[in-house]
Structure 1
Amino acid sequence: MKKFLVVVFAVLIFVSVFAAEKYVYFDENTPYLGANATGKYGGTLIIPSLGSGPKTMNAVVAQETSSTDVINRFMGTLIQLDNYARMHPALAKKCELEVTDDEKMIITLWLREGVRWSDGTPFTADDFVFSMNEIYCNPDIPNDMADLLEDSQGRLPVAEKVDDYTVRIVYQEPYRLAVRYAAGIRIFPKHIAEPWVKEGKFKEMWTVESINKRELVGLGPYIPVEYVPDQYVRLERNPYYFKKDANGQQLPYLDGLVFKIIPDLNAIRLAFENGEVDVYGVTAQFYPDIKNKAKEKGWIVGTGGPTFGTTFLTLNFNCPDPVKRKWFRNEFFRKAIAYSMDKDAMIDTLMAGLGTAQWGPISAAAAAYYNDDALRKYPYDLDYARMMLQMGGFSWDKDGNLIDEDGNKVEFILMTNAGNTTREGVCNILRDELSKLGIKVTFSPIDFNTLVQKLVSTGDWEAIVIGLTGSDEPQGGANVWKLDGALHFWNYSPEVKDFVSPDIYEVPEWEAEIDRIFTENVRILDQQKVYEMFSRYQELVSEHLPLIYTIQQLYLYAYTDKLHNAEPTAFGGIWAWNEEWIWKEQ
């Protein structure tokens, strides 16, 4: 599942930003990523894509990585990130920020001249202003990015055209992450998208069928040109891509990319071993074997620390079944499940020891915000789990089945995405442990895209194990943690409270406090205060467990030694952040 990961400098920078009238983020002398690269042309990078393929090519609609992995290659942004999540210029060549006397914030960006869309149309300020005002900030086009663009009072920015190659973004108050998100939107071509917006059909634009129709137009290094369902998506080099390398040669070096659609992790491993794909995000259980074969096979194999991602169990606070809804809202019930998770066994069994337990919503990789002392932890202890259940009003019948205070046997359906062997393993271990508490769990893995739709759209689910890609910046999860966030999936948005009975809609105070943290932190300029706010957020989540965190694999990678300039990173993956200057021996 997709999470938005547009990241810039460490937030410490913002203390000094507002101490002066203006701050220059970068100027014309700041090189873009790839400006110092050297390499050779040719070759196709073949990347495994887990699941059933993309669902859309519209960045505003996409909710799953199978779609966003492709979208991110052909859509451009004004800024770009390196493998340490530091900001660099991209389509913008200069960026200044100013706070006015009346506390408005103005970001001015100077665009590169002479850039063309992949269909040859000139790229100008009109495209960015249109994308910001008429798409991302359009109330008729609800989207996840709008959650990140809002200031502390829910107001969206306004983009203004200064001239054909200069834009201003105006906020009504200081916003700590203004450049981070506003300059990071994926830009749509006005000459293509404007009619769809005017007709009220924008979310129907750019379906997967658009690939084979060659309708996609972008500013990124590659353009999708062929899609064979359940087999692959092929992208070709963008002939108008604006970047050049150290020798003045146009990037990218590769002829193109292929996302090879593979149904499960076992099949991805076999595809890598057989040379059918060039890169492999190794699962921990296979890492020792892959490492042992590396020299013989001509692979580059390595490991790093934790990734930014999180994996968790979520229970549906708005479950259609009122009996189960009551269980899932019972905090003691959730804590009992937390105590029943044998994370050591999960790490040893599923990750060959190459993992770590997770206790809260921020990964240890996000060092600027992670606070281990703020977290409540739940070591595996079934006796504690039984005590939590008793405190929650549960008991056991004569046959050892857990029953609630009304005598209902406790049982529920647990789902995850089929083919993800680690998540399937987590579910199986959890099911077995819960059975020791008298809880019957029916495990039902399903297709990933179907799972996501159940989670964010239909509400037709009971319990799910899934993950979020995470970020070094907690505010990137605002669309998950704000009450009205598009991915606030375990509980209804306040928008529905007038349409459902009070017993269905409920917002506990701790959940409202988390919402306030995500609303208010963005206007705080003191980094220490922001750290304290997000420490409180970690405390609240680990105490009340809207999401029950599981385990996290360490960052592992493998790729063929025919690839050059590959720089693996927990932030951008083996290939994702610098494909423009990766090259492949023929």
Structure 2
Amino acid sequence: MRRHLLTALALVPLALALPVEAQPPRESLTIGINQYPSNFHPNIENMAAKAYILAFALHPVTAFDADWKQSCIECVSLPSVEAGDAVLETTPEGKPGIRVTWRIREGWNWGDGRPVTADDMRFAWEAGRAFETGFGPAETYRSAYEFTVNDPKSFTIRFDKVTYNYAGLGQFQPLPAHLERAIWQADKAGYRTRSRYETDTTNPGLYNGPYRISAVQPGAGVTLERNAHWTGPAAPFNRIQIRTVENTAALEAQLLSGQLDMVAGELGFPLEQATALQRRVGDRFRFSYNPGLTYEHVETNLDNPVLADRRVRQALLHAADRAQIVARLFEGKQEVADGGVHPRDAAYSPDTPKYPYDPARARALLEEAGWKAGPDGIRRNADGERLALEIMTTAGNRTREQVQQILAGMWRSVGVEARIRNEPPRVFFGETVSKRRFTGLALFAWVSSPENVPRSTLFSDEVPRAERNWSGQNIAGYKDAEVDRLIEALPLELDADKRKPLWAELQQRVATDLPALPLWHRSDAHVWPQWLDGVTPTGHQNYSPLWVTQWRVR
């Protein structure tokens, strides 16, 4: 890392000396990101780095667009009750259900020339229904109780509940059955490590987007090349290189040296680093700051008896001066969060409980919970145990590490010791967080789709566990029967106005319980070269590379 950083800095004068007009024709694009995926299977584990890379190479049937509207990516049209391709019905158990039919476009191919068919969707459904495989989100597969292949380009799914987002397939993506089904059938529980996405990642048949992964440098980057069998709009570059630079200072150095053409806003520079860079380099690059549905927070492990007490969790949030952190680190450009729902999301309730900075209230809550001031300033309980919690985040992310230090100081002022321990993102997300191996607090972000029901993160049955191969994202281990009821009821209400009181009740309850400590809703800082047009940030989990065919060299 030190050698690469020194080399990058040595090249800065040369890069600055080249005017934009002197740039040669662009056959390739090099993008910097700050994480490396823990795996490459699209339906196993959710990680921003993987979602970003695979958006170039794998297309879903549907996705939310930049206007936060459900749209077709590879379907002919969105199904609807009015059009007759979504039909309300009664399930065999006598429950209200819905039968939905999608038709995928002709000419959609895998990178080995095989067409994408309804059978590829069926295989993804089969594997998702076998819960030992560990797919997520599990609820999609649980609700989809019957799958019918109508013809090679059409399939019908019967759901055991009618939801307001029935036209979208979310993260349910096709898988190349001709390559993957036999591997899955041989060992369903071991499939997550035996899949060709892990053992043969550069196999072109795994990808159906405008690009395919052609080379992998573990921990360092991925190379994508045009899918020769892609029949959609032309891909703008012959080659796209994505480099992982987990240290954001080194990421900046590589951008300035010309080793990188751009830094992805979805997981690149912290906002304050990007604004400082813009002040230094002026219009050498194009900068865009896009607010969205990325929610920075501190997850708690409720198996820890200290954190199991709600009063301790509330005290930690009251002791955190989030407004000051946003002002100091982000020039006020992030919005302090009341919870996981963004204020501009249709689901947001303005009546969600707030936690203003109030260290006196934090101390009172800790006293009430039995934590008394100790001689060294750290509180102790009746057994003499110190109030000490471990806090973890992604190593090399300068901003998160700064936030850790600031939070630790604020918490110490009310008698809580925060011990910092960090890991590289691929370890932190791939093992520690996904398998709930952190002992106290974990600082990271969730990104969601618009009006997203937080089933995977808050529903009792979504707590990751070994027997389910660690599927689910309820990392805190939060369990509340009333929250479960609301999560079950929300998707079933098709009237948006009638959903509002349900949303308000859910946010009220979760903000009172605080299984996670909300920090802020993140604004992503996108940095592009002046010669690149057409990149449209979305602000949600369907990332901008999904529309890479709209990118153009000026």
Band the TM-score falls in, shorter-chain normalisation: 0.7 to 0.9
Residue in structure 2 matching 1:76, options 42, 52, 59: 59
Conservation of the 8 A alpha-carbon contact between 2:140 and 2:172? no
1:572 Cα deviation (Å)? Answer: 6.5
In structure 1, the residue matched to 2:176 is 189
Q: Over residues 224-282 of structure 1, what are the superposed CA-to-partner deviations in whole Å (9 max), with x where a residue is unaligned?
A: 010122332001111111313xxxxxx21221321111022222222222232232334
In structure 1, the residue matched to 2:20 is none
User: What's the secondary structure of 1:112's corresponding residue?
Assistant: coil
Residue in structure 2 matching 1:99, options 84, 88, 91: 88
1:178 Cα deviation (Å)? Answer: 2.3
Residue in structure 2 matching 1:480, options 457, 466, 471: 457
Q: Does 1:65 align with 2:48?
A: yes
| CA separation of 1:124 and 1:229: change in aligned 2, threshold 3 A | closer
Conservation of the 8 A alpha-carbon contact between 1:362 and 1:370? yes
User: What's the secondary structure of 2:59's corresponding residue?
Assistant: coil
In structure 1, the residue matched to 2:477 is 491
| CA separation of 1:44 and 1:473: change in aligned 2, threshold 3 A | farther
When normalised by structure 1's length, the TM-score is 0.81
1:404 Cα deviation (Å)? Answer: 1.4
Q: Does 1:543 align with 2:530?
A: no
| CA separation of 1:438 and 1:175: change in aligned 2, threshold 3 A | closer
Q: Does 1:401 align with 2:378?
A: yes
Residue in structure 2 matching 1:217, options 199, 202, 206: 206
In structure 2, the residue matched to 1:33 is none
- 1:439-450 to 2 correspondences below 5 Å: 439-450=416-427
In structure 2, the residue matched to 1:160 is 148
Q: Over residues 267-311 of structure 1, what are the superposed CA-to-partner deviations in whole Å (9 max), with x where a residue is unaligned?
A: 2222222232232334232243333345452x212334x320111
In structure 2, the residue matched to 1:268 is 251
1:330 Cα deviation (Å)? Answer: 1.0
What letter corresponds to residue 314 of structure 1 in structure 2?
A: E
Residue in structure 1 matching 2:134, options 124, 142, 160: 142
Q: Percent identical across equivalent pairs? A: 18
User: What's the secondary structure of 2:511's corresponding residue?
Assistant: helix
In structure 2, the residue matched to 1:315 is 300
User: What's the secondary structure of 1:413's corresponding residue?
Assistant: strand
Q: Does 1:328 align with 2:304?
A: no
| CA separation of 1:558 and 1:457: change in aligned 2, threshold 3 A | same
| CA separation of 1:69 and 1:512: change in aligned 2, threshold 3 A | same
In structure 2, the residue matched to 1:43 is 27
Aligned-CA RMSD value: 2.3
In structure 2, the residue matched to 1:31 is none
1:333 Cα deviation (Å)? Answer: 1.0
Residue in structure 1 matching 2:414, options 429, 433, 437: 437
Q: Over residues 326-347 of structure 1, what are the superposed CA-to-partner deviations in whole Å (9 max), with x where a residue is unaligned?
A: 2111111111111110112211
In structure 2, the residue matched to 1:348 is 327
What letter corresponds to residue 314 of structure 2 in structure 1?
A: K
| CA separation of 1:125 and 1:207: change in aligned 2, threshold 3 A | closer
When normalised by structure 2's length, the TM-score is 0.85
| CA separation of 1:76 and 1:408: change in aligned 2, threshold 3 A | same
What letter corresponds to residue 209 of structure 2 in structure 1?
A: G
1:546 Cα deviation (Å)? Answer: 0.8
1:122 Cα deviation (Å)? Answer: 2.4
Conservation of the 8 A alpha-carbon contact between 1:55 and 1:208? no
Conservation of the 8 A alpha-carbon contact between 1:50 and 1:264? yes
| CA separation of 1:90 and 1:242: change in aligned 2, threshold 3 A | farther
- Cα distance in 1 for partners of 2:139, 2:65 equals 24
What letter corresponds to residue 107 of structure 2 in structure 1?
A: G
| CA separation of 1:332 and 1:301: change in aligned 2, threshold 3 A | same
Q: Does 1:253 align with 2:236?
A: yes
Conservation of the 8 A alpha-carbon contact between 2:144 and 2:158? no
1:392 Cα deviation (Å)? Answer: 1.4
What letter corresponds to residue 350 of structure 2 in structure 1?
A: D
| CA separation of 1:80 and 1:156: change in aligned 2, threshold 3 A | closer
Conservation of the 8 A alpha-carbon contact between 2:117 and 2:152? yes
| CA separation of 1:265 and 1:238: change in aligned 2, threshold 3 A | same
Q: Which runs of 5+ in 2 are unaligned?
A: 1-24, 80-84, 463-471
User: What's the secondary structure of 1:576's corresponding residue?
Assistant: helix
Range moving further from structure 2, 218-227 or 91-100: 91-100
In structure 1, the residue matched to 2:277 is 290
| CA separation of 1:120 and 1:44: change in aligned 2, threshold 3 A | same
- Cα distance in 2 for partners of 1:78, 1:584 equals 27
1:458 Cα deviation (Å)? Answer: 4.9
User: What's the secondary structure of 2:305's corresponding residue?
Assistant: helix
Q: Does 1:415 align with 2:402?
A: no
Conservation of the 8 A alpha-carbon contact between 1:83 and 1:577? no
Conservation of the 8 A alpha-carbon contact between 1:418 and 1:445? yes
Q: Over residues 360-401 of structure 1, what are the superposed CA-to-partner deviations in whole Å (9 max), with x where a residue is unaligned?
A: 1212242x111122x211111211111111121221134433
- Cα distance in 1 for partners of 2:43, 2:457 equals 16
Q: Over residues 311-356 of structure 1, what are the superposed CA-to-partner deviations in whole Å (9 max), with x where a residue is unaligned?
A: 11122111xxxxxx22111111111111110112211222122222
What letter corresponds to residue 565 of structure 1 in structure 2?
A: G
- Cα distance in 2 for partners of 1:530, 1:474 equals 12
Q: Which runs of 5+ in 1 are unaligned?
A: 1-40, 245-250, 319-324, 493-506
- Cα distance in 2 for partners of 1:552, 1:123 equals 37
| CA separation of 1:128 and 1:67: change in aligned 2, threshold 3 A | same
User: What's the secondary structure of 2:435's corresponding residue?
Assistant: helix
- Cα distance in 1 for partners of 2:272, 2:54 equals 30
Range moving further from structure 2, 378-387 or 83-92: 83-92
| CA separation of 1:575 and 1:290: change in aligned 2, threshold 3 A | farther
In structure 2, the residue matched to 1:125 is 118
